[in-house]
Amino acid sequence: MNWDKQILQFYRQLGVPQVPAPYEVLFPFGRQDVWESLEAFYAKYYEDTTTRHVMIGINPGRMGAGVTGLPFTDPIRLKDACGVQNTWPRKPELSSIFMYEMIEAFGGVSKFFAKFYVTAACPVGFEADGKNVNYYDDRKLSNAIEEFAVNAMQEQMQWNINKDVCFCVGEGKNLQFLQRLNQQHGWFKTIVPLAHPRFVMQYKRTQIDSYIQKYLDAFHQHGVV
């Protein structure tokens, strides 16, 4: 089955995990406008059976995947970089800005998405008091979604993914979470950590070019060119 069909089927069947108060699940996949963007994007860049490396982020955020359904992709980058029309407000997400500058440095969206599948450790996001929450911010939340996250990854691992190496977007708690689960389930031989785009944009913005180069060097070191 082509990548686009597998990915769309995955999101159609994705459930909503039960989470403790005060958290709410950020679930964009029940909206028709999101499905229009998903179908257009994946048909454009993933209508094939090519082996891809995987990049694994944390979970969708309110300004990026929480709007578009696409990891690290805000409405601006979806239209301007990916060529997918949409009617959402053109509000930027910091992580999306970094990611698409890195993608451009790699060789552009067509080359990048032909090599990589981008997903998240937890495929749904979380909010509390109108603010983004990462799945690992609260042990109760992390414990509540772990089985959900594992089942989602197990399904994706059945696809044509290069299992020698994956790239973890986040060098702290997201890496620790994935390493622990990888020890249990044996998904990948190696997990390569990369600085999270939001960390770079928030604290190291003057060094963005060097962090992009670190991404490119990691890809090259592990044979992704």
Query: What residue has token string 């990611």?
Result: 99
Q: What angle do CA 152, 156, 159 make, to 5 degrees?
A: 165
pLDDT tens for residues 65-89? 999 999 999 999 999 999 999 999 9
For residue 152, pLDDT beyond 90: yes
Give residue for tokens 């094939």: 48
Q: What is the pLDDT of residue 225?
A: 87
Task: Choose among 51, 52, 72: nearest CA to 60.
Answer: 72
DSSP string, 83-127: -----S-----HHHHHHHHHHHHHT-HHHHHHHEEEEESSSSEEE
- Work out whether strand 125-128 and strand 24-26 pair parallel, antiparallel, or are unpaired: antiparallel
Provide φ and ψ at 169, rounded to 5°.
-85, 100
Q: Token pair for residue 140? A: 């109760």
CA angle 215, 217, 220 (to 5 degrees): 110
For residue 37, count other CB atoms closer than 10 A to its CB.
Answer: 25
Phi/psi-derived region of residue 108, left when phi > 0, alpha when psi is between -120 and 50, beta in every other case: left
The model's pLDDT over 117-133, given as tens digits with 9 standing for 90+, comes to 999 999 999 999 989 99
Q: Residue 194's pLDDT band (boundaries 50, 70, 90)? A: very high
What mean pLDDT is predicted for residues 95-116? 98
Tens-digit pLDDT profile for residues 164-189: 999 999 999 999 999 999 999 999 99
Kindly indicate the confidence band of residue 97, based on its pLDDT and cuts at 50, 70 and 90: very high
